[in-house]
Amino acid sequence: MEKVIYDPIGEIRSPFEEPSAVPVDPDEPTDAMGRVELEPEYEPGLEGLDGFSHVTILAHLHRSPADALRAHPPFAEGLEVGVFATASPNRPNPIAQTVVRLDSIEGSTLHVEGLDLLDGTPVLDLKPFAPKPSLLEDLETGWIGEHLDQEY
């Protein structure tokens, strides 16, 4: 298979310096403020994004090991599942997808809220968040649905 190589378009500025500081509770979204600082040449690509309330960030989890195929979800004590059935950052291709609230855009910098990425995380892409309600009609949550009420 052909190797895939991407150049980051920018990086994250957040209050989280260490992986252990990043919130993981799915029921308590973070209100952390931060910035997505794009390289200046990507500023024209932001045109029209200011009309959206939320943005999806695709990022490279540069401090996560890229070798795990099994994971232990933090809110499902004793459960072990395949890494592709989790949002664990430790995965063969440590790519993050996260949705943040877009507060403002200044030049090539996005000011965002709800950030759950480490400071310095390389950004691969941005997309406006626009959910497709028809996809949620028959939503199945797999093993997660069995553990939604657990504390951790």
Q: Is the pLDDT of residue 144 over 70?
A: no
What pTM value is reported for the model? 0.83
Which of helix, strand or coil describes residue 1? Answer: coil
Q: Sign of the C-alpha dihedral, residues 123, 125, 128, 132?
A: negative
Q: Which residue has the higher pLDDT, 131 or 40?
A: 40
Domains of the chain: 10-132 (2.40.30.70)
Q: What is the pLDDT of residues 1-19, one digit of tens each?
A: 999 999 999 999 999 999 8
Q: What are phi and psi of 35, to 5 degrees?
A: -135, 150
Task: Name residue, tokens 């069995």.
Answer: 146
